[in-house]
Amino acid sequence: MDKDDKNQQGQQGINTKVLKQGLCTGCCACVNLCPSIEYYKDKTILVHDCNLEKGRCFTYCPRTPTDFEMLRCALFNPGDMVLEIGAFKGLYMTRAADENIRAGAQHGGTVTALIQLALDQGFIDEAILADQNDQFLPAAQSIVDKDEVSGKSGSKFAVSPTLSVFNRISKTDTGKIGVVATPCQALALAKMKVNPVPEDKMRMEKLRLVLGLFCGWALDWRKLQKLLKEKTGDRKIKGIDILPSKYACMEVYTMDGTIEIPIEEVNTCVRDNCRYCFDMTCEFADISVGAARSPEGWDVDRGWNQVIVRTDLGGQLLALAREKGVLEFKAVPDKNIENLKKASAGKKLTCLINLSEKTGNPDDFIYIDPEDPVVRHIKKLRG
């Protein structure tokens, strides 16, 4: 590798191979590692030139070349692997037993209940959660008091700078850290954990729990703000939700009632980089949580979550939640696993198609190895 190639593994590489290519996820894995990159209003900003030939920004970015199979083998039991959805120890339908948690949650309140339990039982000493202001501008916050967790519940439809807070907090004398992460954030954490640069080994030992969120896409905050302003005017917005695909709309809850926005208009706000995401179910987490889907329909499902356990630690936490009555459980519909596999495979295939269109090469997926076993499987499904 010549010097020019080495330079492309530092900030120059982030700029030319990620930012300028429209691949930046906004995960903020590169923020608070050095003073050269910052987060500002839903954007990753290069504020100073950096001439390092190789940097942590490039090493940890979820959109730089990644050995997915190495990460899977390092973090999970190979016998648990399901090609479409990652490591799999079980699928569950759950909701918070506490009605107050459910009332403040986007859906079943499972994530809030599990984070509270993890803090209370010493699984973690600190949790890093997504937050937002009254303009839905994404933020993130570190929480040590389990009673403060409920105030951060609910989906954030723009990407929060969660990993910038993790990078900052993990450099302090804090103890065990838990992170609620989107798929791109969980992938960045996996890269940090499995292959840390020497100066990061001690801080990565503090990462003890990753609760993952299912994610189809995220919204550009500026575009979302403009759309909400057009549709709601000066009405105070209490919350928003995006319904299952058959409803084809976003619901916006205001003090004067609910406003429906057609999904076609919402789609114009989706971040471009989400077209290149290979992960729907947050495969690099200990536990992954999404909105429930069942034959009972949305009126019932919106009060429940579906949960994938991926690691022994995740299984221990979920079992403790059952034992202590923190979560309620119900039977998983027979077709849910197959439906999840089908949906996830569809997202992966779309990602590969979009990446190959970007490169002009059917076997060049930029950050994904074309010989990765999951890639080979997805290409076979396409036929």
Average pLDDT over residues 289-318: 94
Residues 6+ apart with CB under 8 A from 271: 25, 26, 159, 217, 218, 219, 220
Tens digit of each residue's pLDDT (9 = 90 or more) over 259-280: 999 999 999 999 999 999 999 9
Give the whole-angstrom CA distance, residue 326 versus residue 214: 21
Cα 92–chain centre separation: 19
Q: What is the dihedral of CA 210, 216, 221, 227, to 10 degrees?
A: -150
Whether 22 shows a pLDDT value over 90: the answer reads yes
Distances from the Cα of 243 to the Cα of 124, 142, 229, 299, 358, angstroms: 33, 29, 20, 11, 30
pLDDT of 3: 44
* Contact present, 307 and 91 (Cβ < 8 Å): yes
Give the whole-angstrom CA distance, residue 92 versus residue 58: 36
What the block records as the tokens of 226 is 């403009």
pLDDT of 383: 66
Average pLDDT over residues 55-65: 96
Model-level pTM greater than 0.85?
A: yes
- The residues facing 212 across adjacent strands are 181, 288
Average pLDDT over residues 196-215: 96
What is the separation, in whole angstroms, between the first and last Cα of the chain? Answer: 36
pLDDT of 278: 98
Q: Beta strand 207-213 with 177-181: parallel, antiparallel or unpaired?
A: parallel
Whether 1 shows a pLDDT value over 50: the answer reads no
Give the whole-angstrom CA distance, residue 17 versus residue 59: 13
Taking Cα atoms as reference points, which of 246, 247, 180 lies closest to residue 215? 180
Tens digit of each residue's pLDDT (9 = 90 or more) over 67-112: 999 999 999 999 999 999 999 999 999 999 999 999 988 889 999 9
What the block records as the tokens of 341 is 């596999």
Phi/psi for 369 (5° steps) reads -70, 120
Give the whole-angstrom CA distance, residue 255 versus residue 382: 47
pLDDT category at 17 given cuts 50, 70, 90 is very high
Average pLDDT over residues 330-358: 96
Give the whole-angstrom CA distance, residue 238 versus residue 232: 12
Tens digit of each residue's pLDDT (9 = 90 or more) over 242-252: 888 889 999 99
Angle at 178 between CA 176 and CA 183, to 5 degrees: 145
What the block records as the tokens of 345 is 């495979």
Whether 14 shows a pLDDT value over 90: the answer reads yes
- The residues facing 250 across adjacent strands are 242, 261
pLDDT of 248: 92
